[in-house]
A and B are shown apart, each in its own frame.
Chain A
Amino acid sequence: MAAIAGLGLTEVGKVYGRTSFELAAEAVALAAGDAGLTLADVDGLLINPAFSQPALDLTLARRLGLRDLRVLSSLTAYGASAGVMVAQAAQAVDAGAADVVACVFADTPRSGTSSGAEAYQAFSLQARGVRSAETAAGLTSTTHRYALAADRYMSTYGVTHDELGAVAVSQRRWAEMNPVAAMRTPLSLEEYHASRWVVEPLHLLDCCLVSNGGAAVIVTSAERARDLRQPPVHVRGWGQAHPAPPLRAGGSFGLTTGAKASGRAALAMAGLGLDDVQLREIYDCYTYTVLVTLEDYGFCGPGEAGALAASGALGPGGALPTNTGGGQLSSFYLWGMTPLHEAVVQVRGQAGERQVGAHDTAMVSGNGGILEHHSTLVLTSETAA
């Protein structure tokens, strides 16, 4: 079995004047150092490029001086990429294809004059074909599409804005205790409601942050990880699902996602059940995404996650600690590295003030595209391994 032995996170947020390549290089070096390794020990590199230019590519290896790699690939499953990278790294390690695999993401969508949202509109604005007709009609960003998904979900199940807001409020309470979180001032439900519409039914505070920064993890064998500097975080199960539900009659658009199949697969591989999961680090590009993912994983029934959030269960002291660093909504947005980073910190027991008491097993989700691509990791501590 493989384990995550190193974790690297650069400065994140309004970080200007550095390219994705520089941030990725620093993240990989930090992750190796965190594990007690050097870059010379790295013999595998998986790279997840984002949208802002220049986007990461395979030249990262050469420019970082990684000259004798046995595994090297650039891959994307969009927001599901982090989980996919870790799963592929674990498989490479298990197969003996590489011993120390670094998985890295870095992005610089923000500039001094742009909040970064534009970088994420490129997909819509540069489209051709059917998508360009949708853009011309007014769907100029990913948020427009998620707004339609959220509307279908909310109208089908009667989910309220108080319930979506409860996710934002709950995660802010966690972020207040996270020194690397961008948003650490307390948030009330009233402030949530007062935040402007981005695309109704999504308020500004339903949407994730946009951040510059880089993050990396080091995956190696469990045996080797035990001899390294940090407590091993075992990669005990993983799953992917890419349901690509056709947009047509009977379609599940907005109501269910690939989290259902990927979560089931990851838990089955781990030989664990939902009751064993002590931490949920859920991809939260929007508050709504958290709710539908919790339902797909089975932590509650369809349409019930809003009430769960409103009950306080997801927040500090709640029965189902979720997005314990504040998530993409309140800490930072580095695609799937955000939930993965927090899971590693928590499972190690290094989360300081926000450390969850029972932290041996974490479920980590990734969500890419418009609910099209999903990855799940089940991570465990040495105690639970």
Chain B
Amino acid sequence: MSSVTRAPARRDDMTAAWFDGLRAGRLLLRACPEGHRSRPDVLACDVCGSLELGWAEASGWGSTVALAVDRSTQPATHLVVVALDEGPWLITRLEGEQVARGEDVVVRYVQDGEGEAYPVVTARPADGD
């Protein structure tokens, strides 16, 4: 349990499909006709500016770019910027075994109470899971 109040993940109109995907254990990204992938809340492709955006499933693989630790929670919360293999970065927390910057992680899905499901990451298993 966290010692701080964490507001639940809540969908809005733009992210309904994203949260539906997370609930089903799939990490979706915005996808343009050129095949670029962008974060879920963009209105135009990060790479080419296209406004024609659909959704595409990401592999869930990535590596860490930056780490921070909030020790005011029990247990401490390990925050992480993850570079997804598809290009976009995910900001979330790392669960379980610690990793160093640049090491591989994999996306998992959690749900707290009545909130929406949201992505976290764990160290990438040695067998490539």
Contacts and interface: CB of A to CB of B under 8 A. Distances in A.
Interface of A: 124-140, 144-145, 147-152, 155, 197-202, 246-249, 251, 253-254
Interface residues of B, number: 48
Contacts of B120: 137
B116 A133 contact: yes
23 contacts: A127-B10, A128-B10, A132-B9, A132-B115, A133-B116, A135-B6, A136-B118, A144-B68, A148-B67, A149-B66, A151-B66, A151-B67, A151-B68, A152-B65, A152-B66, A152-B81, A199-B68, A199-B69, A200-B68, A202-B68, A246-B88, A248-B89, A249-B83
Given A137-B91, A200-B69, 6 more contacts: A133-B19, A137-B119, A138-B93, A248-B88, A249-B83, A249-B89
B41 interface: yes
B15 A130 contact: yes
Nearest to A145: B91
Given A138-B70, A151-B68, A132 B91 contact: no
Given A133-B9, A249-B87, A139 B79 contact: yes
Interface string B94-111: 000000010000000000
A151 B66 CA distance: 6
Contact of B91 (A139, A151, A199, A201): A139
A22 to B, nearest CB: 30
Contacts of B7: 124-127, 132, 135-136, 140
B69 A130 contact: no
B112 A136 contact: yes
B24 to A, nearest CB: 15
A135 B69 contact: no
A46 B12 CA distance: 32
A246 to B, nearest CB: 4
Nearest to A144: B79
A152 B101 CA distance: 9
B62 to A, nearest CB: 10
Contacts of A125: 5, 7
B5 to A, nearest CB: 7
A247 B88 contact: yes
A134 B18 contact: no
A134 B66 contact: no
